[in-house]
Amino acid sequence: IGPMKRDLQISDFEMSLLQGFAFALFYTLMGLPIGRMVDSKNRVKIITIGIAVWSLMTALCGIAQNYWQLFIYRMGVGVGEAALSPSAYSMISDYFKPDRTGTALGVYGMGVYLGAGMAFIIGAEVVGAVSGVGTTELPVIGEVFPWQIVFLVVGIPGLGVALWAYTLKEPMRRGVKQDADAPSIAEVKAYMKANALTYTTLFVCYALAAMMAYGASAWTPEFLKRTYGMSIVDAGRAYGWIIMLAGTAGVICGGWTADKLSTRFRNGRMMVMAAAGVLTLPGAILTPLMDTSFWALVCIIPSTFFATFTTGVGPSAMQELTPNRMRGLVSAVMLFVVSIIGLGIGPTAIAVATDFVFQNEQDLWKSLLVVPALLLTLSSLIGFIGLKAYLKSRDYREAWEAKNT
Cα separation values, 396 from 151, 192, 403, Å: 46, 11, 11
**Are β-strands 136-138 and 142-144 bridged in parallel, bridged antiparallel, or unpaired?**
antiparallel
**DSSP symbols for 226-277:** HHH---HHHHHHHHHHHIIIIIHHHHHHHHHHHHHHHHH-TTHHHHHHHHHH
Task: Kindly report the length of the chain.
Answer: 405
Q: Torsion angle of alpha carbons 106, 110, 112, 116, nearest 10°? A: 150
Q: Is-contact 365 223, C-beta < 8 A?
A: yes
Q: How confident is the model at residue 220 (pLDDT cuts 50, 70, 90)?
A: very high
Q: Is-contact 149 126, C-beta < 8 A?
A: yes
Contacts of 346 (CB under 8 A, 6+ apart): 20, 210, 211, 212, 213, 214, 215, 218
Q: Is-contact 293 222, C-beta < 8 A?
A: no
Domains belonging to the chain, first-starting first, are: 2-167+185-404 (1.20.1250.20)
Name the helix (H) or strand (E) containing 138.
strand 136-138
Residue type, 58: T
Of 59-63, 204-208, 289-293, least confident by mean pLDDT is 59-63
- Alpha-carbon Rg of the chain, whole angstroms? 21
Q: pLDDT tens-digit profile of 146-197?
A: 788 888 888 888 899 999 989 888 887 766 555 556 678 899 999 999 999 9
Contacts of 348 (CB under 8 A, 6+ apart): 13, 16, 17, 19, 20, 21
Q: Where are the alpha helices (DSSP H) in 82-169?
A: 84-95, 101-130, 146-155, 158-165
Sign of the Cα torsion 295, 299, 302, 303 reads negative
Q: Torsion angle of alpha carbons 352, 354, 360, 364, nearest 10°? A: -160
Residue 131 is predicted with a pLDDT of 63
Q: Is-contact 242 300, C-beta < 8 A?
A: yes
Of 129-133, 199-203, 256-260, least confident by mean pLDDT is 129-133
Of 9-23, 282-296, 299-313, 365-379, least confident by mean pLDDT is 9-23
Which pTM was predicted?
0.81
Q: pLDDT tens-digit profile of 290-335?
A: 999 999 999 999 999 999 999 889 999 998 999 887 887 898 889 8
Q: Is-contact 176 325, C-beta < 8 A?
A: yes
